[in-house]
């Protein structure tokens, strides 16, 4: 693990486990600290989120358990609660655009804002009004279109198709074409595999923090498809781009 890319340090793990021990009287050893440190860093959990999850566990989950068979909080339980917290944060996320931004600046700012929301931080400069079609404004006009590299222009133009902008890995439907059933009938909605593939291609994952184009990972291993938070982030970005 890259120690320069920690989301939570060993001293912070010690602080977290001390809070857990104060609640459930566990004994904490070196192996506990290392195991929690590894697991929470793989899941990209910060100390603030871990504390919030720990408090939730002992205030809401612990009291509902049979006192004779209560389970102490574990790193996987904390990670699961943190993922739920992140999903709630994205429920009302709205991208805050800059009317003068380029396509590349748009991608960078969107990724930055998604990361900030995932970590519980608001974007630095909240906007009071959103342009109705921020991306359309970037590509409007023949002069602007000619000045933009063809591959960038085509990519932005295809955004409105969402998952249909890529080939379906399930039925091999061509870009922009609708998915089909095994019997050849056109489907109204894309195959789930196509939705996942589109999310992987276009969105940074707020759950495992891989960049757009990189497959999701879970506990250090490849994750099948895309995390739900990533699919939601891709859908939110698409709505913003289309002015919906």
User: CB within 8 A of 220, min separation 6: which ones?
Assistant: 42
What does the DSSP 8-state code read for residue 148? S
Q: What is the pLDDT of residue 203?
A: 82
d(CA 200, CA 230): 7
Q: What is the pLDDT of residue 8?
A: 92
More confident call, 237 vs 82: 82
Q: What is the pLDDT of residue 86?
A: 73
Q: What value does the mean pLDDT take over residues 86-91?
A: 68
Q: What is the pLDDT of residue 96?
A: 66
Q: What is the pLDDT of residue 139?
A: 37
For the whole prediction, is pTM greater than 0.75? no
Say whether pLDDT at 241 is over 70.
Answer: no
144 pLDDT tier (thresholds 50, 70, 90)? very low
Q: What value does the mean pLDDT take over residues 106-129?
A: 56
SS3 180: strand
Average pLDDT, the chain: 76
Say whether pLDDT at 151 is over 60.
Answer: no
User: CB within 8 A of 166, min separation 6: which ones?
Assistant: 175, 194, 197, 198, 201
What pLDDT, in 10s, does the model give residues 180-194? Answer: 998 889 888 889 999
Q: What is the pLDDT of residue 170?
A: 92
Nearest-CA neighbor of 110 among 135, 132, 85? 135
d(CA 144, CA 137): 10
> Long-range contacts made by residues 75-78, C-beta under 8 angstroms, separation at least 24?
75/35, 75/36, 75/39, 75/40, 76/39, 77/53, 78/40, 78/45, 78/50, 78/53, 78/54
User: CB within 8 A of 50, min separation 6: which ones?
Assistant: 8, 12, 16, 40, 78, 82
d(CA 164, CA 171): 12
* Cross-strand pairs, 186: 180
Say whether pLDDT at 135 is over 80.
Answer: no
89 pLDDT tier (thresholds 50, 70, 90)? low
59-68, 152-161, 166-175, 221-230: least confidently modelled range: 152-161
**Residue 131, burial from CB neighbour count under 10 angstroms (0-12, 13-18, 19+):** middle
134 pLDDT tier (thresholds 50, 70, 90)? very low
Backbone angles phi, psi at 117, to 5 degrees: -65, -40
Q: And the tokens for 162?
A: 């969402």
More confident call, 66 vs 8: 8
Say whether pLDDT at 238 is over 70.
Answer: no
Q: What is the pLDDT of residue 48?
A: 87
């Amino acid at each position: 693990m890259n120690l320069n890319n920690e989301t939570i340090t060993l001293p912070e793990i010690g602080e977290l486990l001390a809070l857990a021990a104060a609640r459930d009287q566990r004994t904490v050893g070196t192996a506990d600290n290392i195991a929690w440190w590894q697991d929470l860093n793989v899941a990209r959990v910060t100390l603030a989120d871990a504390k919030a999850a720990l408090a939730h566990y002992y205030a809401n989950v612990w009291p509902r358990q049979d006192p004779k068979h209560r389970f102490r909080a574990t790193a996987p339980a904390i990670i699961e609660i943190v993922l739920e917290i992140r999903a709630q944060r994205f429920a009302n996320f709205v991208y805050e655009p800059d009317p003068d931004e380029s396509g590349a600046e748009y991608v960078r700012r969107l990724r930055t804002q998604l990361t900030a929301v995932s970590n519980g931080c608001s974007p630095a400069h909240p906007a009071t009004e959103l342009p109705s079609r921020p991306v359309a404004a970037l590509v409007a006009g023949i002069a602007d279109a000619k000045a933009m590299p063809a591959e960038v222009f085509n990519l932005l133009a295809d955004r409105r198709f969402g998952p249909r902008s890529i080939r379906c890995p399930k039925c091999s439907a061509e870009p922009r074409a609708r998915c089909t059933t095994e019997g050849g009938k056109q489907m109204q909605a894309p195959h789930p595999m196509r939705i996942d593939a589109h999310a992987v291609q276009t969105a940074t994952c707020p759950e495992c923090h891989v960049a757009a184009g990189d497959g999701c990972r879970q506990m250090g291993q490849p994750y099948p498809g895309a995390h739900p938070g990533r699919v939601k982030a891709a859908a939110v970005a698409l709505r913003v781009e289309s002015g919906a």
